[in-house]
Each structure stands twice: as structure tokens, then as C-alpha cells.
Amino acid sequence: MTAVKTSNEKTARLWGSGGREYEIISQAIGPAILHGVERLAPQPGERILDVGTGTGRAAREVAVRGASVVAVDISEELLDGARELSGPSQNPIDYRLADAEVLPFEDSSFDRVLSSFGVIFSAEPFVAAGELARVLRPGGRLVVLAWTPESNAGAMRQLTAPFAPPPPEPAPPPPHAWGTEEGTRDYLGSHFELSYEYGAFDFRQADGATAWRAFVAGFGPVKMVADSLDEMQRGELARSFSEWCDQFRTGVGLSIPFEYLVTIGQRR
């Protein structure tokens, strides 16, 4: 079995383009990641799978609670960053290159499964949902974090749309479907008993220009678009991004609210 499906190799390059610098974004969304880990409630000695680990922030939070963690991502560049950031530990994390749509594990291999804003970007959400269910033992817990449709995460993604090439046909399903109770029931309801909790946090930076530098350095979808542009177009995107962010300035800096949904599933 290949680690990454051929159809997802371009996506892997996109998300991996920021490499270790993606940790800047992981730090910014840290309050949501911690929320997800708390609802996962990992116990010492349990075997936990983190799907779409990025630079490993959620995996590290789980590991310090005494669980045995396997953390997978579609990008080797992100995994290299995760390994570097984790360093030596009494409870080391097993980082592996893997595709959420073809998880390389036996049925019922894990006690709990977590995906923090990761599996929501799968091009085949029903396939990925089936894989999450397959590798989780009966009675085990699943936690998925996703941006709600109204969240500023969606508005921020739209800033790059005028500068990006046309999406492939057929276009992949929108990730915000995972941010609705109806969407997650559609994807996961045949495998899990589901419950929900909403959350929000503020992304804080000094100003829009600082936020732009963070995203263009570490956030693959923004970095890859910016790197494809000539100097004039890149400048236009930077101004558009910075100006949008600056509408959320307070008296002391930038504070952009982001809303998300936590889906908690018990495997049938």
C-alpha cells in the first residue's frame, strides 16, 4: 500500500510547502487543539492516533498525558518539523507518512482517534470517515475539529482565491461541511454515536502585515499561491490579506475571532 494516494500528491506538496514554519499556525490555533485533546480525554497506556498531525502540536499534548501516540500526516516536510519539535522524550511519538484515505493500520488498532483541522481537507470525506471508523476499536472515542461555515477561516481562504489557479474538476467538497452537525452526521453517523461542542478563540498578531508574514511563511495554501505569483501580484495579495486582517485591530493589536466545531463520536 502506498503511503499517499497518487491523487493526493499535489495536496501533500501544498500542505508541506511551509514545512516546520507551519508551527507558527499551530501555535495560533493552539487553544482549539487543546480543546480537542481535552475532549479526547486520552488515558495513560492507551494507543492514540492523530490524523493530519501537521507539526505535531496535538500529538505532543496527547503524549504528555501518558498515552502511546501514532501521528500521521500526508506531508513528509511537516513530519520532519514535527519530529524536530518533539525532540527526545520519555514517551516518544511515532510519526508516520500516511494518507487519511488509506490508513496503514489494522482494524480496531486504536483506543482513541483525533483529527485537528486535518481530515476535513480530504478529497473523499466518506472514504476518510470510513477509515477513521475502521481503525478505532468498538466503544472507542473519535474527536474531529473543523471550522464552522461562518468562521473567519473560510473568509481568510477566500482571500487567495482571485490569485490561485482554477480548482480541479470536479472540485473537492468544501471542508466546512465537517463544521456542521448535519455534515458530520452524513459522514460519520453510520459508524458513531455523535455529540457536539462549539468553541472559539482569537488569533492575535501585532498587525495585518505581521499576520501575512506568518501565513506566507508557514501556511501551505497561502505560501504556494504567493510563490506562484510575480512580484506585482504577490504585492497585491499581501496588501489584500493585510488589509482584511487589519479590520480586526484593537487598541493594542490584531485579534481575529475563529469559530469551530468539536465533533465527539463513540464507535458503535
The domain total for the chain is 1
By the 10 Å C-beta count (0-12 exposed, 13-18 middle, 19+ buried), 161 is classed as: exposed
Residues 6+ apart with CB under 8 A from 104: 1, 3, 96, 98
What residues make up the domain containing 57?
A: 6-150+171-205+255-267
Read off the pLDDT of residues 201-233 as tens digits, 9 standing for 90 and up: 999 999 999 999 999 999 999 999 999 999 999
Closest among 144, 236, 130 to 195, alpha carbons compared? 144
Q: Residue 109 sits in a domain of what CATH number?
A: 3.40.50.150
Closest among 92, 38, 52 to 262, alpha carbons compared? 38
Note whether residue 237 is domain-resident.
no
Note whether residue 104 is domain-resident.
yes
- Cell 490579506 appears where? 241
Note whether residue 48 is domain-resident.
yes
Across 206-225, b (16+ Cβ under 10 Å) vs e yields eebbebbebbbbbbbbbbbb
- Report CA-CA distances (Å) from 33 to 102, 103, 118, 187: 24, 22, 11, 21
Q: What is the pLDDT of residue 172?
A: 76
- Cell 480537542 appears where? 36
Q: What is the pLDDT of residue 238?
A: 98
Read off the pLDDT of residues 104-153 as tens digits, 9 standing for 90 and up: 999 999 999 999 999 999 999 999 999 999 999 999 999 999 999 999 99
Note whether residue 234 is domain-resident.
no
DSSP string, 171-207: PPPPGGGGGSHHHHHHHHTTTEEEEEEEEEEEEEESS
Beta strands of the chain (E only): which ranges? Answer: 47-51, 68-73, 94-97, 110-116, 136-147, 192-205, 254-267
Q: What is the pLDDT of residue 87?
A: 84
Read off the pLDDT of residues 172-192 as tens digits, 9 standing for 90 and up: 788 999 999 999 999 999 999
Overall pTM surpassing 0.85 (yes/no): yes
Note whether residue 100 is domain-resident.
yes
Note whether residue 155 is domain-resident.
no
Note whether residue 89 is domain-resident.
yes
The residues with which 198 forms a beta bridge, in sequence order, are: 261
Q: What is the pLDDT of residue 1?
A: 61
Read off the pLDDT of residues 253-265 as tens digits, 9 standing for 90 and up: 999 999 999 999 9
Note whether residue 246 is domain-resident.
no
Phi, psi (rounded to 5 degrees) for 207: -165, 180
- Mutual angle of helices 125-135 and 181-188, in 10-degree steps: 60
Phi, psi (rounded to 5 degrees) for 49: -115, 130
